Every structure is written in structure tokens, then in C-alpha cells.
Structure 1
């Protein structure tokens, strides 16, 4: 079993399609809560809000 992929992003909303093209999964949009992280329910990718994204989100933009 391969380790779960962690992806650092700059926005609290992300889209995930599994990254496998035709072998991926349907595109889903995920919104992070206060913890600044979320896992894709299809493929398990772990998305983490970067420090830059946290600073931007904290300003209400």
C-alpha cells in the first residue's frame, strides 16, 4: 500500500480528481474547516492549507 499523498495548497477550497486522469475519480470540491486540512473521501489525498493560505484566509479575502 502506498503512503497517502499530502498536498499543500494556498486556498481553503480545493478540487480533487485523484490525479490519475481517466484512472482517477469524479471531481469533488472540498472545503477545509478551522483545522486547515481535509482528506479526499475517494482517494485519501491529504490537503493541508499552507502558511501563506492561512494568512490570506485570516484577512477575510
Structure 2
């Protein structure tokens, strides 16, 4: 059995600590989820594996 890859499907640089992911259009789509990058500066979508990374120099301010 081959080892599972831990590499993200896609990496997206963002400038805010809160992002939403819906997987994109068509068959790749999934229910919209809101993700928080405040801890660690990156997070992977639990549905599609897309990785959101805080852009260098951006501040992870707490959302209201």
C-alpha cells in the first residue's frame, strides 16, 4: 500500500486570519467552511485539502 501524501492539493496565500472554502465550482465543490489561521498562520481545508497560508508580512489579527 503506497504512503499517503501530506502535500496540499493547492496552496493559497491570504492576508486575513479568517477564510472561507467551498472547494470551487462543480464536482470539486463542498459545503462552505470557515477556517481560522490565527494559530500557526496556516490551515488545511478538511474537505478538499486546500492549504491556506498567511502571506508574509500580513498580521493575523483576531476577528470580531
Task: Name the TM-score, length of structure 1 as normaliser.
Answer: 0.75
Q: Aligned pair count?
A: 56
- Segments of 4+ in structure 1 off by > 6 A? none
**Map 1:1-61 → 2, pairs under 5 A:** 4-19=9-24, 21-23=25-27, 24-54=29-59, 57=60
In structure 2, list runs of 5 or more residues that go unmatched: 1-7
More helix by share: 1
Equivalents in 2 of 1:34, 1:25: separation in Å?
24
Task: Name the TM-score, length of structure 2 as normaliser.
Answer: 0.72
Aligned-residue CA RMSD in angstroms? 2.3
